[in-house]
Structure 1
Amino acid sequence: MNLTRTAYGTWSGGRFMHYGEQLSEEHYMQLMRDSFAKGVRTFVTADVYGVGRADALLGEALKGIPREEYCLVGIVGHDIYEGIRQGSRGYPRFTDPSLRGPDKYYDYLKMATEKSLERCQTSKFDLLMLHNPDSISYTSDKVWDAFTALKTDGLTDRLGIAPGPANGFTLDMIECFERFGDRMDWAMIILNPFEPWPGQHVLGAAAKNNVDILARVVDYGGLFHDDVKPGHKFRDGDHRTHRPGDWIEHGVEKLEKVRPIALKHGLTMLQLACLWTLGNTAVKSVVPTLIQEHGEGARSIESKLDELAALPAQCLSTEEIETIRQIGDNTGCMALKGASQRHEGQEPRADEWPMRPDLLTLATRWSLGTSW
């Protein structure tokens, strides 16, 4: 089963990524059962979430549902087995030279995939993605030979990449599409009405290389759920406390500018964000984060799932999509991850590395300029 238009991510519900209240395990699993029952039939999980616990809870939640009735997306790449967690940077990538060389890539990927499948209580993913690739995974034939072998082994029907956790990796992704697009079916990027940049710059290359896009953070940190207002108090440790201090105020101001378009079509703000995102070239599926916010007046997380499940057919015009893009334009608002000129002279790290001249040539070819 290929990905459906709407998807549920196991990072929802606050258990494994800190957004809002943390649901109990039973509530967390019930939300996934409700998701299936209401028609959101694609589920995305990563082995690093809860060091396998998200996989296990998803497997338990979907137990008894015929496997052919839902799409299962797995994500591997952080070495949670032999790697040592490095504080806020998380677990190292499996390609870390201190852990293994290229001759062991296949062994690791096969082991990690099989263990994730076992926790999910199934034998095959519909899509398997490389999680937060480093510069090696974006460019190495050895990595992609090993990764492709998993499809040959019958462990997955499709392959893809899931960059992150921050925004960026634009030129790295385009190069990866051009080098390995014949082996790749999907890529997951950050894209929403208020963060069109830089994700929009990979869409043309994705389409040209027949790579479909799964968009995450469609809700823009929960703002499009419409219950985060100026003065909102986040719990300690909430991921969104790392955003600039006035992001809510500026976001709400933009929200009110696009609200008339939502009202015109009878859409909630989350539905507007989803349809805008799906209106972009190559985007075929959206996976917003469902959040139970802290405090009085917060909407139930179930009501947010209801909005996602009831997403109507595309009703936004090309002109409306462009109007929203202009209102939400965030060009240059952050220091991007991946290949960047700001890393000149530095040793490559897992999520940032120096720019290469051939990537700037690629940027010129795609009319993306030479300032990265």
Structure 2
Amino acid sequence: MDLTTTAYGTWSGGRFMHFGETLSEERYMECIRTAYEAGFRTFVTSDVYGNGKADELLGEALVGIDRDSYCLVGTLGHDFYQGQRQGNRGYPRFTDPELRGPEGYKAYLRMACEKSLERCRTNHFDLVMLHNPDEAGYTSPAVWEGMNALKEEGLSDRLGIAPGPANGFTLDVIHCLENFGDLIDWAMLILNPLEPWPVGLALPACEKHGVKVLTRVVDFGGLFFGDMKPGHEFKPGDHRAYRPEGWVEHGLEKIEKMKPIAERHGLSMVEFAAIWNLSQKPVECVVPTFIQEAGDDARPIEDRIREFAVMPDVRLSPEEVEEVKAIGDNTGCMMLKGASKRHEVSERPDEWPMREDLLELAGRYGLGEEW
């Protein structure tokens, strides 16, 4: 089963990422069941969330539901089996040379995939993605030989790449597609009307190589759900509180300018954000972050899930897509992760020095050399 238009991610609900209220295990699983009942037929999980706990809760929540009736997407990449957590950096990638060399990549990926499947109570993923790769993940033939082995051994029907955790990696993704695109079916990228840059620059390359795109953060930190107002107060520890001051107010001002387009098509603003993504090739699936906001007057997370489950069968015109892109233009608003001229050495697993082959690639794709 291939991915459907909407997907539900196990990062929702605040248990494994810090935002809004943290749901109890039972309510967390009930949200997954609510998603299925509302029409979601694609579920995305990651083995590193809760060191396997998200996999377990997803598997338990879907017990009794026909496995052939939903698409299951797994993501692998952080080694929490042998690696030691490195503070807010999280667990090291399995490609960390202190853990293993290229000769060990294939065995690690098989082990991690099999354990994730066991926790999810199934024997195969419909899609397994390389999660938050470091530079080796984008460039190493041994990594993609290991990923391809998962498909050859029947552990996954499709393969993909999921850059992160922050935004960037544009040239790295394009380089990866040029070298391993014949193995890659899907890419999971950050895209929404308030963040058209930089992912929009990679979409033509994805289309060129026949790679479908699943877009995350379509809700822009919950803003498109419509519950957050100017001056919104976040709970202590909510990761959205670390965004630049005024991001809520700035975003709401731009959303106001987009509302006439949404109203023209009879869309709520979160539907509008999703449809804007889906109106661009090769985007074929959208996955938001469902958050139970703090406060007695906050809408139940279950209502948000039901609202998003099935998207209206409409698309924006190319002119409308560009109009929204101009309103939401965020070019240069953040320091990007991945290859960058800022770095002479790689000190973190999500940042590394720019390479000449990437600059040549940027020139061929008309992306300029200021990275």
Matching of residues 1-372 of structure 1 within 5 Å: 1-343=1-343, 345-372=344-371
The residue type paired with residue 136 of structure 1 is: A
* In 1: Cα distance, 2:268 partner to 2:20 partner: 20
Deviation at 1:306, TM superposition (A): 1.6
Render the CA deviation track for 1:91-121: whole Å, top value 9, x for unaligned. 0000000000111111111100000000000
Greater shift, 255-264 or 325-334, is seen at 255-264
Render the CA deviation track for 1:35-58: whole Å, top value 9, x for unaligned. 111111100000000110000000
Partner of 1:160, secondary structure, is: strand
* In 2: Cα distance, 1:150 partner to 1:315 partner: 35
Greater shift, 6-15 or 32-41, is seen at 32-41
The residue type paired with residue 104 of structure 2 is: K
Is the CA contact (8 Å cut-off) linking 2:123 and 2:155 kept in structure 1?
A: yes
Render the CA deviation track for 1:234-291: whole Å, top value 9, x for unaligned. 1111110121011001001011111122222221110000000111121010000011
The residue type paired with residue 333 of structure 1 is: C
The residue type paired with residue 353 of structure 2 is: P
Structure 1 unmatched ranges of 5 or more: none
Partner of 2:201, secondary structure, is: helix
Render the CA deviation track for 1:10-66: whole Å, top value 9, x for unaligned. 001111111211111111111111111111110000000011000000000001111
Is the CA contact (8 Å cut-off) linking 1:290 and 1:305 kept in structure 2?
A: yes
* In 2: Cα distance, 1:194 partner to 1:347 partner: 30
Deviation at 1:349, TM superposition (A): 2.5
Deviation at 1:348, TM superposition (A): 4.7
**TM-score normalised to structure 2 length:** 0.99
* In 1: Cα distance, 2:318 partner to 2:53 partner: 42
Deviation at 1:229, TM superposition (A): 1.2
Is the CA contact (8 Å cut-off) linking 1:76 and 1:113 kept in structure 2?
A: yes
Runs of 4+ more than 4 Å apart: none
Percent identity, aligned pairs only? 63
* In 1: Cα distance, 2:369 partner to 2:43 partner: 38
Partner of 2:35, secondary structure, is: helix
**TM-score normalised to structure 1 length:** 0.98
Structure 2 unmatched ranges of 5 or more: none
Partner of 2:44, secondary structure, is: strand
Q: Number of aligned residue pairs: give it.
A: 371
The residue type paired with residue 292 of structure 2 is: Q
* In 2: Cα distance, 1:251 partner to 1:191 partner: 15
Greater shift, 165-174 or 308-317, is seen at 308-317
